[in-house]
Structure 1
Amino acid sequence: MTLSELGLSDVENECMDNCWEAVQACEWCADKCLDEDMDMSQCIRLCRDTADLASDHARFMARDSGLTDKLTEATAEAAEECAEECRQHDHDHCQVCADVLEDCAESCREMMQSA
């Protein structure tokens, strides 16, 4: 059985996949930021917040929670804010994270529009 057989639309499946990718990218970026010589505390903080929200969002989608809509918007906002912060840094891990987060935010916004 696949997730689409559980009743998730293509848009929802894409959003869920992008959320899990965002979790991985944010955790990796936050860890790498710890090794940087400059103050990366804001990047780390936003990455951790976004990773937690994206993880919760994907899990709530999987269980068809009534709170999914609220988490979709919160995840999109967090991903956009974190991507903006990451874009300010030249580190490869920040740039990759920003790319992944932009995809996550976009798919969350698409999911909100399709509801």
Structure 2
Amino acid sequence: MSLSETVSKIESLSDEQRDCIENCNEAAQVCEWCADECLGMEEMEECARLCRDVADLTTMHARFMARGSNYSGQLAQACAQACEDCADECENHDANHCQVCAEVLRECAESCRQMANA
């Protein structure tokens, strides 16, 4: 069963929450990839550091949404900001992994921002 199939079975979630969970999980995966590709390059340390932060935050936010946590809205705001900051950093680099990461993070930031304002 795919993640989207599993998330669709959580009846208490809205469509927007389901989308956000999927976006957060995709962001976590792409950030882990990007951070791994940046390892060992001094000029990419900040990119790797931000990607690791985003991977942790987005994973936590997805879990909080899935369980209906009262703290999800606050975490959504932090998640959106971290995604934006990381996307800004990734866009400074020509590497394909950074460009892909920035694109995914922009979507995730928007989705998280919607959850923060819900």
Q: Give me the TM-score of the superposition, normalised by structure 1.
A: 0.92
Q: Does 1:99 align with 2:103?
A: yes
Q: Does 1:25 align with 2:30?
A: yes
Please name the residue that 1:14 is paired with: 19
Instruction: Give the 4+ runs in structure 1 shifted more than 4 A.
Output: none
What residue ranges of structure 2 are gaps of 5+ in the alignment?
Answer: none
SS of the aligned residue for 2:93 comes to coil
CA distance in 2, matches of 1:59, 1:25: 18
Identical-pair percentage: 57
SS of the aligned residue for 2:43 comes to coil
Please name the residue that 2:44 is paired with: 40
- What is the CA-CA distance between 1:34 and the residue it aligns to? 1.2
Q: Give me the TM-score of the superposition, normalised by structure 2.
A: 0.89
Count, aligned residues:
113
CA distance in 2, matches of 1:71, 1:109: 10
Is contact 2:83–2:105 with CA below 8 Å preserved after alignment? Answer: yes
* Equivalent position to 2:74, from 70, 73, 93: 70
CA distance in 2, matches of 1:103, 1:2: 21
What RMSD over aligned residues (CA atoms) do the two structures have, in Å? 1.5
> Aligned letter for 1:26?
C
